[in-house]
Structure formats: structure tokens, C-alpha cells
Structure 1
């Protein structure tokens, strides 16, 4: 099992600590940039918990495992971490990977606080073992669909790769737009090159193209092809999954990557805790922290609070989800039962539709809130 180098507060082997297992995509084909931000938030929360006495005087530690966007690797990591005696499991960014981890955690009776994965069906059946911070995909992507309609876009093209996650997103958009006069055209990126995609778009009548594809590829190649096609000069490019949030997007695309609206889960103003955490995260990362870094921090803060309140017994940790009331970086965090979602859910984190300003691609503009 591949484990990244650890800070002293991240992993010890003396058995005296309270352990949390952490899952994140830290190598390809996973979205490594997102994994790095997620882990930075988790590490900061653990560091701060230990600065204030740890858990009953015992240090809190992370046992970090790289999922590399592989569901089987994630499930194996859950088995390993459970055997190492972690009190709870945290993290993961990729929805399909988090789904595999949630299923295994549920089977083992291991509490899992999912940080960033949004797929509504995180588990097949309701479970008491899993809670989630990120909003469900149906919630966030409906807000994105409302943004599109508000901007005058009713004929939407989707560049889609085969995936449970992308298929779920396409269904949310179609179901929300159709009753409001919108139409959705899906273009299969497993069968189209970026140039062929532009040919399809030129005759489609679509005024917006949403990137339901992986990053950096084929997303970067699609953006470049569309930006260079004069027939598509008025086409809005969108990325509801959040690709433009990260510095790597701007580094690869520059001005071509600006003006691409995406979803992120931040408020107009962070809480005082969020402002302090943001400063510390900026120092750790050497760049502006993404919403994923704040999700990581909030995950660690919630678990530290739960472990201090009810100890390390796994059943007691899971039983505490309905009683959580923790001030996070983006508001008060509570978990409830939400119709259609089988896990305890924070309903809801703040949601923004943002983009990079075409006049200054390093600056974000908030286009819509929900």
C-alpha cells in the first residue's frame, strides 16, 4: 500500500495515539491537486487539535492512504485501516471511490466522514456509519442548472465521458432543465476527438458546453479546441465539477481557462475560524486554498470534536452523527437524514457558481449563489 511521506503529527507507530484513517487521491490517475488540498486541510485540523490537548491527552494521528482514484484500492485501504485500529475514516474526493469506501466501511462497522464526494447514492441502502460534508450532486448541480437558465442558456451540450458520476450529473441537469424549457444534448467523448466535438457543436444550436470529463485530459484539449474555433466564439464553456478551481487549470490554460463557470462550496464570507484556517492553509499549500482544503479541515475538526465528546468506540462515534453541532470554516455543521440520500448529510453547505475573471485569471468572480 502506497503511503506518502508523513509529518510527525500525521503518523506514529507507538500505539499511544487516537488514529483516523485518511483517504485521498495522491497519485495519477487520481486528481492529485484535489487530494493534496484535502490532505492539507485534514493535517491542519489534526495539528490544531493536538495543540489544544489532543483527544483526552492522547495525540490525534492520521494514517494516510492514497486511493489513486481506484475503488478497489480504496476498499483495500479501508480493510487495512480498520485492522490498524482507526477510530474513524475520513476524506476522499472522487465519488465512485468514496462509494466503494463507504460500502466497505458500512460492512465493517467503521465510521466514515466523507469530505468531498457528492454522488447522491453514496451507499445503496441507508446506513448509520457514514456521514458527509459535501452537498449531494443533485443539490449543487440543480443550482448550476438554475445559473444557466438565468444566463439565458436553454440548449445545453454535454461533453461526457463514461462514468457513474458523469452519468448522474447529466441526469440531474436533464431532469431539472426539461420542465423549465431547457434541452440537453450529450456528446460521447469516448467516441469523439476535440475537433470532432467542435464539428458536432457547430450544428447543434447549443449555447453552452459543459465539461463532464476528466482533468487535465480531455478537458484541457476540449477547451483549447473550442476557444480556437471561430464558429463557437459565443459558446459558454462550463465545468460544474470544479476543475477551474485549482491552480493547475490556470497554469495549463491561461486566459483560455477563464470565464468557465464551476461549482464550489464556499460562502460569501468565511467564518472567523475559516479566515484563520485559510491563512494557515495558504502557508501550508503555498497557494490559495480551494474549497476542498476547507472540506478537509472541517472533516478533521468534526472528528476531533466527536472523539473528544464520545471517545474512540466506533459504534458511539457513528451514533454521534445526529448530535454533531460544530462551527466549521463555512458555517455550523449538522448532519440530518435527507430524502433520497442514505447517509447522514450536512444539508447544506454554501454553494457558489464561480469562474476565473477573463481580465485577471488569478481572480475568481462569484456568478451565482444557492
Structure 2
């Protein structure tokens, strides 16, 4: 009897170019597919991951998505590079193949597009959670630094700026940096001169590292708070001992050790333990997103009882699925699925992300 044909999940990710997080993204999706196959596959069929390189370029992501659609994949795990992911969106209307982005720009799902979903908490959700943290700490005057070359960070700051008055917070200075900025000293000096009580940093990759190193070199006695883009072991390694004390918005996975026993913590362990055995490091936010996207697609195929792209889309539109990132509740009007309670506010201690006391109390109240 012939073996059943595989269910093919596509993945568009950055294997080359400046977006080094793409390799972590792929590692997470590969682990998810292995686990699905170890458990017997989906609908009694093996699962296969087909990966295409977007070369860290918007046009590369568009071309890769079209190649996946031509191949007949059931759905696509999208790139973590928001600039590239946004370029794909209009093409989903034409090709009608579900695209589960691992980029975090909220404009991917606002307004809702029929075939576009996302895994990370949106920039809007992260921004709101960090403002809740500032308010709890009594930090009402903040300096802001953001990477204007990053769509996610630029949009996250623009969104957060509109929320400031709701939380009684004022941005006393706002500094724009760029992805190729080499000297972050002037940005830090402006923050220091502003009288701010904290530095809010919307930066990812090299700018996150550069800003953190300059912040520590300046010896400022205020907290540095960074958005989701710094929730990676790579950031901690590159900043070194100076990373200790930096506050970072993270997924629940990064703070597994501090979470209370729960179904969510069990789902996290199912990812972190085998990932660390395989790669020798904990999964970054980008690995978590790749893993989660593949699991969500598989859950939709299973719920649909069919691997036809239209059936998968319909299943995604009403999917509820517990994952290491929280419990997604997609609907026809919500293609992000997560809320502020799925964002941890952590502090880096001894090279690890640890829940802040405030965030621990919040998790005790809300964690599934």
C-alpha cells in the first residue's frame, strides 16, 4: 500500500541577509514539524516543511510566497522581518493561501485580511503592557529611542505615543536611530539630559545591542525598557554582563521557570526542553514564533479535516489553540489572537529572562 502523501507547510524566512533571526525562526518550525510527525502526523499523513529564503528583502519574501503557492502548500509560515512580511500581504488576496506571519507589525492584521494571521503579540499589545508596567512603577516621564528603519518598531512607538495620556505618562524626548547607526552615544546623551525616569527603546538586532552598550557605558541610573525585539538570547550574549537589569517585553516562553504550574507552562516545556537539547540554547522569541505558526497551521488542518487551502483558512478564522505563547482565539475580526496578558515583562538577570514581580502577579491572575 503506498504511503500517504505529505501535508506540506511552507515557510518564508531569512536564511541570508541582515535578518539573522530568520534562522532561529526556521529552527522553531522544524521542531514543530518533527513533533507533529513523532505524534503520527496530521490527518494520518506526514508533515513536511518546505523553506524558502527571503534574503531579508521585501521583494524576496514576495517571490518566496509565490513559489510556495505554486507548489501547493496548505499554508505558509511567514517571515519574522516585518518590512518583508508587510510586502507579502496584498499577494495573499490573489493566491488565497493562508499566511501566518511571525513578524510583529500590527498593521499586518489591522485591518483584517482574510488570509493573513500572525503569531507574536502585536506592537499595540506590547506597547500597552509596557505602559501598564511604567504606571505601576510610577515612571511618568520617559525618553524614547526607536529604530526608524524598522516597520515594527516605528509603528509600535507611533501606537504607544497615542496611548501615553491614558496612562499619565509623558515622552520628554524622542530620538530616532537607524539600522546602520554605529554611534549610539548621542541618543543616550539626549535621554540623559531630558530628565527622563526611564528609557523606552523600540529597537531590534544590531541597534538593540548598540543602544544597550551605549546606555551601560553612560552609567545612567534609570531603567532601560526594550520592546519585544530584544527578547532573544543573542541580545543577551552580545550585550554581555551589561544586559543585567534591562527590562524586556517577552513571550511567556522566555520566563518559563517563573510561571505557575498551568496548561500553558506544560505547552512551553514541550517546546523548550527539546529545543535546548537540540540547539544548546533556549529558544528565542523568533524560534518560538516559527514553532507556534507551524503548530497553528497543523491545528487548523486537523480542525478542518482537510488540507485544501480554503478549508484551512475557514478553520483558522475560528481557531482556539493553546500554544507556548498563550491561547490563541482567532475570529473573523481578530487575526492576532493574543492580548496583553500574553506579554511578560521580564528583567535580565545572570543572562536569563526573569519575571518582574509585577508581571508575576499579573500571570497568577490571568494564565490559563
TM-score in same-fold range (> 0.5)? yes
1:139 Cα deviation from its structure 2 partner: 1.4
**Structure 1 equivalent of residue 18 of structure 2:** 29
1:280 equivalent to 2:274? Answer yes
Structure 1 SS opposite 2:228: coil
Q: Where do 1:189-208 residues align within 5 Å?
A: 189-190=177-178, 193-208=183-198
- Return the match for 1:220 from 209, 220, 223: 209
Structure 2 SS opposite 1:61: strand
Q: Is the alpha carbon distance of 1:293 and 1:188 closer, same or farther for their aligned partners in structure 2, counting shifts above 3 Å?
A: closer
Q: Where do 1:282-297 residues align within 5 Å?
A: 282-297=276-291
Structure 2 SS opposite 1:78: helix
Contact 1:41–1:297 at 8 Å: present in 2 too? Answer: yes
My pick for the range that moved more, 41-50 or 296-305, is 296-305
Structure 1 SS opposite 2:103: coil
- Return the match for 1:19 from 8, 20, 27: 8
1:354 equivalent to 2:346? Answer yes
Contact 1:89–1:112 at 8 Å: present in 2 too? Answer: yes
Counterpart Cα distance in 2 of 1:109 and 1:149? 43
- Return the match for 1:334 from 326, 329, 347: 329
Structure with the bigger percentage of helix: 2
Structure 2 SS opposite 1:287: coil
Q: Residue by residue, what CA displacement relative to the aligned partner does 1:194-235 show, whole Å, maximum 9, x if unpaired?
A: 22223322321112222223422x3323222222224xx212
Unaligned runs of 5+ in 2: 254-258, 363-368
Q: Residue by residue, what CA displacement relative to the aligned partner does 1:222-256 show, whole Å, maximum 9, x if unpaired?
A: 222222224xx21221211331x322222222221
**Structure 1 equivalent of residue 122 of structure 2:** 136
Q: Residue by residue, what CA displacement relative to the aligned partner does 1:74-94 show, whole Å, maximum 9, x if unpaired?
A: 011001111111111113212
- The CA RMSD measured in Å over matched residues stands at 2.6
1:331 Cα deviation from its structure 2 partner: 4.1
Counterpart Cα distance in 2 of 1:345 and 1:187? 29
- Return the match for 1:236 from 215, 218, 223: 223
Aligned residue pair count: 344
Counterpart Cα distance in 2 of 1:277 and 1:55? 18
1:105 Cα deviation from its structure 2 partner: 2.0
Counterpart Cα distance in 2 of 1:123 and 1:363? 28
My pick for the range that moved more, 169-178 or 322-331, is 322-331
**Structure 2 equivalent of residue 210 of structure 1:** 200
**Structure 2 equivalent of residue 11 of structure 1:** none
Counterpart Cα distance in 1 of 2:295 and 2:177? 40
TM-score, structure 2 length as denominator?
A: 0.84
Contact 2:252–2:324 at 8 Å: present in 1 too? Answer: no
**Structure 2 equivalent of residue 316 of structure 1:** 311
My pick for the range that moved more, 131-140 or 48-57, is 48-57
Unaligned runs of 5+ in 1: 1-13
Contact 1:106–1:130 at 8 Å: present in 2 too? Answer: no
Q: Where do 1:88-107 residues align within 5 Å?
A: 88-107=75-94
**Structure 1 equivalent of residue 244 of structure 2:** 258
Structure 1 SS opposite 2:108: coil
My pick for the range that moved more, 165-174 or 278-287, is 165-174
Contact 1:326–1:332 at 8 Å: present in 2 too? Answer: yes
**Structure 2 equivalent of residue 77 of structure 1:** 64
Counterpart Cα distance in 1 of 2:335 and 2:352? 36
